[in-house]
Amino acid sequence: MQTKVENNKAWFLVLPVFIIVAFSAIIPLMTVVNYSVQDIFDQNTSYFVGAEWFKQVMLDSRLHDALIRQFLFSFTILLIEIPLGIGVALMMPTKGKSASLCLILVAIPLLIPWNVVGTIWQIFGREDIGLFGAFMGAIGVDYNYASDPVDAWSTVVLMDVWHWTPLVALLCYSGLRAIPEVYYQAARIDQASRWAVFRYIQLPKLTNVLIIGVLLRFMDSFMIYTEPFVLTGGGPGSSTTFLSQALVQQAIGQFDLGPAAAFSLVYFLIILLVCWVFYTTIMNMQKDK
């Protein structure tokens, strides 16, 4: 790392970013805080209720379930996507036309609007018109994501793996590209096994990108909304209702501004905590280098 110059005038360069993000972040956040301590009937009628909504939110068993489901979901997809992504990155060709072609093809799912991702799997998983649903039926599995909670869950997980493994794969791929050829030559001279090459040469180089990958995947899966909304609508029952969905249901569906705001804040605090832990870890790792 190069040493940086102390210069407080640099603030002027950051100011535009600060203003533009603050407009969309701080004002709404303040408003959410205001809402969270009031019972709001309409624009002009509201009562101060103190911490009552927070109590309600903290003790609401539906939200506990959504939170547990959310963590379960995030850990499940991380457990699948990270190893799978590393595997795909190791398999990707490194040179020539086939390398760029692979890159483009692998990246396609990332650029599909999230509701279209939901639509694709909604169609793909149906037994009457979808290939996957028909395939499951043909091999004798009683599969219906719209009525069976287990099927709904596995379809949402499968969809997320399909959608986001490419991100992990491309991150790892770019990490692998940064390893100098000399390392591999040395390994060849030592007759190192494939596993040894992976364990002692490739994996250490991947740590950095993997942390970014885990951070992005954890955070983005923690706010997943559109895809399950289109695919299952949070059902059957509430088996695939994750945090964002529960929040939107409360805020838009029932128009409970106060409790929804309190819920938002609790949600935000959890995000802030996780984000801080990751950030500190990344920063300390960079310092150690």
Partner 1 sequence: MTQSSTTHTNKSSAAKTYGTAETVQAPVYSRAERKARNATRRSRLGMVIYLVLLLLPIYWLINMSFKTNTEILSGLSFFPEHFTLDNYAKIFGDPTWYMGYINSTLYVVMNMVISLLVALPAAYAFSRYRFVGDKHMFFWLLSNRMAPPAVFLLPFFQLYSSVGLFDTHIAVALAHCLFNVPLAVWILEGFMSGVPREIDETAYIDGYTFPKFFVRIFIPLIRSGIGVTAFFCFMFSWVELLLARTLTSVEAKPIAAIMTRTVSASGMDWGLLAAAGVLTIIPGMLVIYFVRNHVAKGFALGRV
Partner 2 sequence: MAWMSWTLPTALFFIGIGVILVGMTAWQIASPCVERRGFLPLDTTRGDRLFIGLLSSAFIHLVFVALTDANLAVATVLCAIWMIILMRWG
Beta carbon of residue 22, minimum distance to partner 1 (angstroms, whole number):
9
For 71, left (φ over 0), alpha (ψ -120 to 50), or beta?
alpha
Residues 6+ apart with CB under 8 A from 35: 257, 258, 260, 261
Residue 143's binding partner among partner 1, partner 2, none (Cβ under 5 to 8 angstroms by kind) is none
Residue 269's binding partner among partner 2, partner 1, none (Cβ under 5 to 8 angstroms by kind) is partner 2
Beta carbon of residue 109, minimum distance to partner 2 (angstroms, whole number):
35
Binding residues among 21-50 for partner 2 as defined by CB under 8 A: 27, 30-31, 33-35, 37-38, 40, 43, 46, 48, 50
How many CA atoms lie within 13 Å of 34's alpha carbon, on the beta-carbon side? 9
Q: Confirm or reject binding of residue 51 to partner 2 (CB under 8 A).
A: yes
Across-strand partners of 232?
none
Residue 183's binding partner among partner 1, partner 2, none (Cβ under 5 to 8 angstroms by kind) is none
- Pick the closer one to partner 1 by CB: 27 or 51: 27
Q: Is 113 helix (H, G, I), strand (E, B) or coil?
A: coil
Residues 215-254, one symbol each (x = binds partner 2 by CB under 8 A, - = not), give: ----------------------------------------
Neighbours of 153 (CB within 10 A): 19
The CA distance from 34 to 264, in Å, is: 12
- Pick the closer one to partner 2 by CB: 23 or 276: 276
At CA 188, angle to CA 187 and CA 193, rounded to 5? 75
Residue 171's binding partner among partner 1, partner 2, none (Cβ under 5 to 8 angstroms by kind) is partner 1
- Pick the closer one to partner 2 by CB: 31 or 193: 31
How many CA atoms lie within 13 Å of 101's alpha carbon, on the beta-carbon side? 5
Query: How many residues touch partner 2 (CB under 8 A)?
Result: 26
Give the N- to C-terminal CA distance of the chain in Å, as an integer.
Answer: 9
Residue 72's binding partner among partner 2, partner 1, none (Cβ under 5 to 8 angstroms by kind) is none
Query: Alpha carbon of 219 to those of 62, 76, 79, 102, 223: distances in Å?
Result: 22, 14, 14, 27, 7
Cβ atoms of 245 and 225 closer than 8 Å? yes
Residue 191's binding partner among partner 1, partner 2, none (Cβ under 5 to 8 angstroms by kind) is partner 1
- Pick the closer one to partner 2 by CB: 131 or 273: 273
Q: Is 57 helix (H, G, I), strand (E, B) or coil?
A: helix
Site stretch for partner 2 (CB under 8 A), options 70-78, 106-114, 179-187, 267-275: 267-275
Query: Alpha carbon of 63 to those of 94, 237, 243, 264: distances in Å?
Result: 46, 14, 8, 11
- Pick the closer one to partner 1 by CB: 148 or 212: 212
Cβ atoms of 92 and 102 closer than 8 Å? yes
The CA distance from 217 to 85, in Å, is: 12
Binding residues among 268-287 for partner 2 as defined by CB under 8 A: 269, 272-273, 276, 280, 284
Site stretch for partner 2 (CB under 8 A), options 52-60, 202-210, 227-235, 246-254: 52-60
| Interface residue list for partner 2 (CB under 8 A) | 8, 27, 30-31, 33-35, 37-38, 40, 43, 46, 48, 50-51, 54-55, 58-59, 266, 269, 272-273, 276, 280, 284
